[in-house]
Each structure stands twice: as structure tokens, then as C-alpha cells.
Amino acid sequence: MDVIRVDDPADPRLADYTRLRDVNLRRHLEVEHGLFMAEGDKVIRRAATAGYIPRSFLLTERRARALDDVVAGSGAPLYVVDEETAERLVGFDLHRGALAAFHRKPLPAPAEVLEGARSIVVLEDLVDHTNVGAIFRSAAGLGVDAVVLAPRCADPLYRRSVKVSMGSVFTLPHVRLDDWYGGPDALRGAGFHLMALTPGRNSVPLRRAMAELDPGAKVGLMLGSEGDGLSPRWLERADARVHIPMAARDVDSLNVTAAAAVACYELTLRGGQPR
């Protein structure tokens, strides 16, 4: 096992861990170098278990042995730093934390993932990494088979998404569309009945829409961005528009992660009888 003590936060071997809170910097760095970050023992273990290849691990001295089981046999170096070096490097107090950099894998082609899927979630232009991670956790927990991302949807492998998802982003397959305009039609072509979640009028209550589905239907649940919801184009190309009935006069919709949880729950039960 390759344990390396480093004192200089500018050491190039630690470059993967630079300024983790600088979203713009990190987006470029991670995409260009084909890496992502995992944070916390549990999430790091899940990434490794899911078959991602570690590039390196970063721990503070007092927790230097915390990941021995993962580090051993990974072939990747373990960098151990004092707390001050850690903070200057990553930009926050690592304290009892643990970090690892992993290699990304090429995303599967949509057809490969969609063929066996019965229920999918389709995210249009969500910009918030926390929301994307939370939706992965709910979708995975509630039994959705895959997530399809529009070209501009935020990266599920960004550190915040990974963390909030509790590692669900590693196990719930996801694919990215390369064509926004034709995206819904491509999914319909793959056999999916597209249900667009929208607070707008001219939509059917979620439970009724689910109960009226053909039992064997392949369903794609479409969710739009945090502020504006789905684009007119995607709304127009959906097979059905559905809403979660709101009771309060002063609340016009749930936030997108709450709406996603409710809709994935109904999608799993398909509006069915209590079980």
C-alpha cells in the first residue's frame, strides 16, 4: 500500500483535490481530466464497489488508516496530509473527512440502458447539483431503473451530487442525451410513454394518470428545471401532462426534489391498490 505524506498543498500530485468549493474551476478540471470526487468513507466504498477505479485517496493524519480496506489492492496512492495542508488545498476543514478521486467511465449509450428499463426519470435542465443528487437517491430507492439527462442537466458525478445521492449515482444507471430538441421523441421511439410533471393547468392528477396506465407500459417521468419547469418544447412532446394536486393557496408547487420523490413513488406503485 502506497502511503505518501505530503506537506505542500501546491504539490502537483494533489492537483485533483484543488479548491473543491470552486464550482467553475472544478467543472473544467474534472471533465478535462476525466475524474470525479467522492467524499466520506461510505460513499468512497460505494464508488469502489460499483467498479470505479480510484486515482488516489486523501486523508488527514488522524484518520490515515480509515480506508485501508479500499486502498489496499486498489493500486492507487494514499496521500496523508495534516489538517492545515488539507484546508489550504481543498478550501474547507477536512476534519474527520475522507476524499478520493476516481476515474470516470464512459457513459453507456442510451439504447443500452433503455432497452431493459420499465421506469425512467428524465431530467431536463436542472442546474443544482444537490437537487440532482437528491433525485438520484429517491429514484434509486423507489425502484426507478435509469435516469436520462438532457444535454444541459447538471453533472450527477459532481461532488455535491455524489454526496447527497449517498452514492446512488454509482448504481442507478444514467445516460445523457446529445440532442435536446429531439430528446422526447427519441425516448418515445424507444417505447416510453412520457409523463411530464408540471404544475400547469391542462394536466391530470398524478395518481389518476398512473392508475390509467397500461400495466406493462414503459414510463418516462419528465422533470424540468428548478425555476421554470419543463420547456414548452418538452411539454409539447410529452404523451401526458400530470400534476401533484396542491392544497394551499400560497404554494403553487413542491420543490423539484419533493415532486420527484412523490412522482417516483407513484410511478413505482403505478397508482395501484395499497400493498
Q: Which residues bind its own copies (CB under 8 A)?
A: 46, 134, 137-138, 140-143, 164, 166-168, 171-172, 205, 207-208, 210-212, 244-248, 250-251, 253-255, 257-262, 265, 268-269, 271, 273-275
- Residue 186 or 242 having the CB closest to its own copies: 242
Q: How far is CA 159 from CA 74, 82, 91, 253, 274, in A?
A: 21, 22, 14, 28, 37
**How is the beta sheet containing 35-39 ordered, strand by strand?**
3-5, 78-81, 54-60, 98-103, 35-39
Nearer to its own copies, 30 or 39 (CB): 39
CB of 263 to its own copies, least distance (A): 10
Burial 56-75 (b: 16+ CB within 10 A, else e): bbbbbeeebebbeebbeebe
Min. distance of Cβ 251 from its own copies in angstroms? 4
CB of residue 169 vs its own copies: minimum separation in angstroms?
A: 11
Which of 107, 262 has the CB closer to its own copies?
262
Listed in order, strand segments (DSSP E) in 105-168 are 119-123, 146-149
Q: Which is nearer to its own copies, 136 or 234 (CB)?
A: 136
The minimum distance between CB 136 and its own copies, in angstroms, equals 9
